[in-house]
Amino acid sequence: MRYRPHATYSILRTIMALFIACGIVAFGITAILAQSAISDYNRDVIEALIFGSGPLGAEACPAHERWAGFPRGSTINVIVSTTVSNDKRHQIRSTLRQISHATHGAITVSLHITQEPEPPTGDFRVISMTHPIPTRFGCTSNVGCTHHEWQTPGVLKSSRAVQPEGQTRQAYAHDVIGHGILGMCHIQAKGIGGPHNSLMSGGLGVYSGQNSGRLTALDIAALQAVYASSLSPGATLNDFIEAGLISNP
């Protein structure tokens, strides 16, 4: 009788060990299934959006050969100047609401409107402002651009999108959210059924006002696959290939 409790405990412990072992095995299978569930096409979408390369790549990447983004768990203060017109502010606000979902909660955002015409950059700040001469803020042309500051290669510290008044509301969302917050590159619009299928559409003959203005189902599927992995911003193309997120060339 003295040993019965011990025996029961021992059996329970064995069952628990088996359960935990099964859990680990099941988790391993789930992870493998999740990655093999990514089609070759979606791997090409991920390579284009994160590295600007592959069959759908159209370059224009914030970082050189690294996944560009803020660290997991970041809350980004998005500072939009009132120099940005109302319709563009609405577009930005609407697209910002998609970020937490698209990143599985890894990135959250807080929107602030300021009357400052040229809000200063700072840690975990992403700026959107309108200015007639974006080249004064590091852009190579006056169609506008997004300028980045880095903590380490691929890991963002801050971003600032500067665009002229004539740019479209889609271009504003593309710059401040697509490049500025999510660190994405351009994707070939012709390869994805048209520019309306991505916030990051680019390639020959594609204009800024033709992109979706919001994250599409294609963008969100790619981002969610990336954020569901064990990788973090700063990861290389090889890390993505090893994780099964990008096809081995």
- The footprint of Zn ion (CB under 5 A) covers 60
Give the span between the Cα atoms of 19 and 154, in whole angstroms: 40
Answer yes or no: are the C-beta atoms of 49 and 219 closer than 8 Å: yes
Q: What minimum distance in Å lies between the beta carbon of 20 and Zn ion?
A: 47
Smallest distance, Zn ion to C-beta of residue 230, A: 28
Shorter beta-carbon distance to Zn ion: residue 60 or 243: 60
Contacts of 143 (CB under 8 A, 6+ apart): 134, 163, 164, 167, 208
CB 170 within 8 A of CB 212: yes
In the bound state with Zn ion, the residue whose beta carbon lies nearer, of 130 and 229, is 130
Answer for the pair 187, 206: CB distance below 8 angstroms, yes or no: no
Mapping DSSP onto H, E and C, the string for 206-236 reads CCHHHCCCCCCHHHHHHHHHHHHCCCCCCCE
Which pair of tokens denotes residue 77? 């203060």
169 closest CA partner among 86, 64, 61: 86
Residue in 89, 101, 61, 85 with CA at minimum distance from that of residue 185:
61
Q: Which is nearer to Zn ion, 81 or 211 (CB)?
A: 211
Q: How far is the CB of 208 from Zn ion (least distance, A)?
A: 8
What is the rounded CA–CA span in Å between residue 66 and residue 143? 26
User: Residue of minimal CB distance from Zn ion?
Assistant: 60
The least distance separating Zn ion from the CB of residue 27, rounded to whole angstroms, comes to: 38
Which backbone phi and psi does 180 adopt, to 5 degrees?
A: -70, -45
CB of residue 207 vs Zn ion: minimum separation in angstroms? 11
Specify the residue, 60 or 111, whose C-beta has the smaller distance to Zn ion: 60
Instruction: Report in angstroms how near the CB of residue 211 gets to Zn ion at its nearest.
Output: 9
Shortest gap between Cβ of 186 and Zn ion (angstroms)? 6
User: Among residues 38 and 185, whose Cβ is nearest to Zn ion?
Assistant: 185
